[in-house]
Structure 1
Amino acid sequence: MGATAIVFRDEKVLLGKRADNGSWQAIAGIVEPGEEPADAAVRECLEEAGVVVSVDRLALVQRMPRVTHVNGDQVDYMDIVFRCSWVSGEPHPADGELTQVGFYDLADMGEISAEHRRKIALAVAEDDAAHFRGGRAPR
């Protein structure tokens, strides 16, 4: 299971450039055994970007694209996306997973994927209910 933190500071969102593939995205990582997903989002922000955040609300729960491991096992991971608020700290690449990190205007997010734009859009509204992919009754 993964946790994604969409972190806002004033009218800006926290984005980082991944060291492994160069893509820009929100701060995200794997939930550790026994860890609550919201706690994982907070921890990842501190570990990867050097910022302390608080979780405001759940924004999205979704299944990620299927992964096939070397041994042939197939896994469907879950991503839990939280709207978060910046508390303290200036963003910087803290652990080597990101090469650049900072707060960016919503209108000027640069080269960010459609999937991450969607996560940010769902987190923008402060009082919006969480979104779930699927969840429809069978016909």
Structure 2
Amino acid sequence: MATPNFVLTLREKIGTDPLPLVGVTAIVFKDEKVLIGRRADNGAWQPVSGIIDPGEEPADAAVRECREEAGIEVRVTRLAHVQQVPRVVYANGDQVDYLDLVFRCDWVAGEPHPADGELTEVGWYGLGELVEVDQTHVRKIALAIAEDDPASFHGGR
């Protein structure tokens, strides 16, 4: 499902006004490769991501998104990065301010495949193969590579 039902319900009340949402990005590693997929909506290559459901633990959301979008099971090992994403304005005028929680995850089971239609392709790629991945996502991957580094935060003045 592309847009969660709770977001659609909120949109009925607030129209296209800015909506603050918390999302997750799962940087999944298997051996020396990272999981990357091509989004069905815009064709961009990126890690699995999605919106946290009300009351859902953030790490659980990362695991759920990997299962739903790529058909794999993962284990979250650490929070790698936290950032406020610049306001997104969708083609229909909806405005969203995402707080993105980036988790390092390790592959547990399953072969990646486009499981729910949000991705058209998904697979394991070496770090040198990320030429079509936007630099913002490359940075998230770089911050997640170390297994025990502290999380990176923007701001904090």
State the TM-score, normalizing by the size of structure 1. 0.92
- 2:68 corresponds, among 47, 51, 54, to 47
- 2:142 corresponds, among 108, 121, 129, to 121
Rounded to whole Å, the distance in 2 between the matches of 1:70 and 1:100 is 23
Residue 5 of structure 1 aligns to a residue whose secondary structure is strand
Distance 1:18 1:73, change over 3 A: closer
**Count of residue pairs the alignment pairs up:** 136
Distance 1:68 1:14, change over 3 A: closer
Rounded to whole Å, the distance in 2 between the matches of 1:93 and 1:73 is 26
Distance 1:135 1:12, change over 3 A: same
Which residue of structure 2 aligns with residue 83 of structure 1? 104
- 1:110 corresponds, among 131, 134, 144, to 131
Q: Which structure carries more helix by proportion?
A: 2
Rounded to whole Å, the distance in 1 between the matches of 2:123 and 2:107 is 12
Rounded to whole Å, the distance in 2 between the matches of 1:9 and 1:46 is 15
Which residue of structure 2 aligns with residue 11 of structure 1? 32
List runs of 5+ in structure 2 lacking aligned partners: 1-21
Which residue type is aligned with residue 21 of structure 1?
A: N
List runs of 5+ in structure 1 lacking aligned partners: none
* Aligned-residue offset at 1:67: 3.4
State the TM-score, normalizing by the size of structure 2. 0.82
* Aligned-residue offset at 1:68: 4.9
Distance 1:19 1:131, change over 3 A: same
Moved >6 Å (runs of 4+): 69-73
% identical equivalent positions: 69
Rounded to whole Å, the distance in 1 between the matches of 2:93 and 2:131 is 36
Which residue type is aligned with residue 76 of structure 1?
A: D
Alignment of 1:26-41 (within 5 A): 26-41=47-62
Rounded to whole Å, the distance in 2 between the matches of 1:99 and 1:53 is 20
